[in-house]
A and B are shown apart, each in its own frame.
Chain A
């Protein structure tokens, strides 16, 4: 079961024992009163790092389920969302209701700052593995995805495609690769950390000489593959690749032998949410089976909901060697990662 493998993820947040769990508020359900109160507010502001088309689809589904409540989707890269909320909160602006990024470090930070309103939807309490939710109920893992190597099957033969991370250093891939930026993407921040631990910074130093096209968001390398701008992506969201494969684009994913980095996207409700009831409703909706199933079917995201059925053509996580990141160890490394990255890749 790949969910078991996923459950091992995010050990740091999951290290908490059942004793700590007791501090979390009691689980809540979506009641007619909550719905009415949310409708009275009429709006929920969702800061998210999920691909904009997926996030808007989810918002649309919410609106059809709870008519009368508008969803304002604010999509940017994880690190940009973090920057935005940081700038806003340090200047006393409270725009956001619900926040979601793919960098687990952010939620440790928010929690420390006391920016989050603890709450546990019933669905999370019942179905979520204990490792995938904050023991104090501040946040829970709304989604997960891998950062994958992928290539255009019409531009590169399967035999020529890389099998390992080290294969990417081969001169035959020079000028052919595209890669996202850790200063923008939480997924790439996580994967850069994990790979620098696994392969050392020398690996990135060599990779930096491969004349790689540098884009910002981890949603973008798959789109550059779809355009045919590059034949091979070094990193990028697995879910965007799934979506493009579903659209019929000739792209194939490589799960390298050394392992594939996993990024967990947490979600939380902010303490200063301007629409607290709509936030509470939307938050519960995010973890509901149909929202999670939609994320999987339309979005290609991995879910921690045990009842979500994945499409048959996707490799289950249990068959993939997954590299987990420890947000507590990652956090102090962030300045080093940014500085080294700029040194080796120029930006």
Chain B
């Protein structure tokens, strides 16, 4: 109404003001993002001071956090596990990234693509694949080991149901974070510094040690921190591998507090330190990456130096093949094998091949259809909503069209500090009450996924925006187009590839989410990830593998489409956060 009045009163100026939606958009987005991010955190803090028994205000939950040995142990084990995962991921990923980025190793492009594949694999599916491979008795690896050496049935080579097994299984599916960051950094390290070292008489190893590694060290540390963070906040893999081994990590412990009657206050209090640790790690990562400036200072001065491997080539190939078999080839073969044979322990021959698991999943199991529909519906909705919001927010932030727009960027990045399970607890507390009644609908899941994926979408979009010079937009604005029209007609087409890439990235992230989902799902809002988890608890590995194959096929289809778009090469699958 007011804009109508203004149009009449101030024809010249009012015209522009009436159409320019910057302010309303800014206000609306600020409101939406604040609700998305701040509301769950508010309830989390509120409940952590609320007694589970009486309902009054109390410090008991925080006291329990310090004195309850089961909680302390869960935190200790989770932190130990995360650090070990970080170290292992770094040790695997760094040499591999160097081989791929800076040597004449054959098949480098393929290797990058395969690492991306391991990134797309939901970690919980990877954990299940490792149950099939490396369970002490029925694990395929152990069966082969025993038959080769003719050993007793009680002998085994590897046991995945241990602390180290868990660390290994998680590292297999988190090392791409380190790999991607280090490989990208190596792509950008100016070769003139290395040339200088060679000219001054440094041998290639000396150059590597004294020049190249120090230059990529920030990327290594940052990648490792992300791997640590991922491991610390992961729910699926520990639930699948740690519980059989007889220990809790903090995420599974928080989940167990939801057993009826739920201890919401304690769950909220137990979740908060996880939030604080995450914030600290992210700040550390930021301050490390903040110094990254000097690695790219020289820009792309010439092509990166390629080291000739010579006789070491075979060692390098063996190393890369080992890593790829452990992270991609073996798990995928195990999943395929289990989907088509009776039970995990069966040998493969004509009599054990069966489609019974497929028949069960596709025709008998009544949850399948609903879960597939929900999963893909939510994937599409989340990806579209997040990409749209991220596009507008990054526009407002990078073009500084509205004073204070930087705050929007902060809001859009903030959820990265909220671990999935913490967000799950927060959203449950915010929306699972008779006032909102969002619990039990797919909307609560949409809110959760949007919150979780927003930072990734925003990060991708804002880096894409900084690559588009504003002069094109200014031309549009000068010709009298509104901001939104300029955005739509000029900026968006220029960013099309990035938009598609961000959309795919969010889509894949959504359909593999489990840690927040597990607390928010109900019978009518089942997702594939949740039924996989449910089936795992009742030991139906064959059905899980069939669902996993369907889920992976969909993920890969999306990534494949993304890869048709030139901008999204394997190396551009940026790590979240």
Identify the A interface with B (CB < 8 A): 45, 47, 51-53, 56-57, 59-60, 70-77, 79-80, 82-84, 86-88, 91-93, 95-96, 155, 175-176, 181, 183-184, 212-217, 219-220, 223-224, 226-231, 338, 342, 345-347
Contacts and interface: CB of A to CB of B under 8 A. Distances in A.
17 contacts: A53-B360, A57-B364, A59-B366, A73-B367, A79-B260, A83-B258, A87-B262, A91-B439, A95-B522, A96-B523, A175-B136, A213-B161, A214-B246, A216-B243, A220-B538, A227-B344, A229-B136
Given A72-B366, A220-B539, A224-B539, A87 B434 contact: no
A229 B246 contact: no
A91 B437 CA distance: 7
A216 B537 contact: yes
Nearest to B433: A91
Q: Which of B248, B259, B360 has the most CB of A within 10 A?
A: B259
Contacts of A51: 538
Interface in B516-532: 522-524
Given A87-B522, A91-B432, 7 more contacts: A52-B540, A56-B366, A60-B364, A84-B522, A214-B246, A220-B538, A226-B345
Contact of A74 (B245, B367, B440): B367
Contacts of A181: 243
A87 B259 contact: no
Interface of B: 70, 135-138, 153-154, 161, 242-248, 252, 256, 258-262, 343-345, 360, 364-367, 370, 432-434, 437, 439-440, 522-524, 534-535, 537-541
A82 B434 CA distance: 19
Contacts of A230: 137
Contacts of B345: 226-229
Nearest to A74: B523
A228 B137 contact: yes
Nearest to A176: B154
Contact of B440 (A88, A184, A228): A88
B523 A95 contact: yes
Given A72-B523, A213-B161, A229-B138, A347 B539 contact: no
A334 B409 CA distance: 48
Contact of A217 (B259, B433, B539): B539
Q: Which of B248, B434, B522, B535 has the most chain A CB atoms inside 10 A of its CB?
A: B522
A59 B370 CA distance: 16
A247 B193 CA distance: 68
Highest count of chain A CB atoms <10 Å: which of B258, B260, B535:
B260
Contacts of A79: 259-260
Contact of B539 (A72, A87, A175, A223): A223
Nearest to B540: A52
Contacts of B242: 347
Nearest to B364: A56
A227 B437 contact: no
Contacts of B245: 213-214, 346
A228 B137 CA distance: 6
A47 B244 CA distance: 26
A228 B524 contact: no
A176 B137 CA distance: 9
B538 A227 contact: no
B145 to A, nearest CB: 14
A345 B365 contact: no
Nearest to A335: B261
A268 B161 CA distance: 38
B244 A217 contact: no
Nearest to A174: B154
Given A59-B366, A93-B439, A342 B432 contact: no
A342 B248 CA distance: 9
Nearest to B248: A347
Contacts of A231: 137, 153
Contacts of A214: 243-246
Contacts of B153: 155, 231
Contacts of A342: 70, 248
B539 A52 contact: no
Given A83-B262, A86-B261, A217 B537 contact: yes
Nearest to A106: B260
A247 to B, nearest CB: 8
A75 B343 contact: no
Nearest to A52: B538
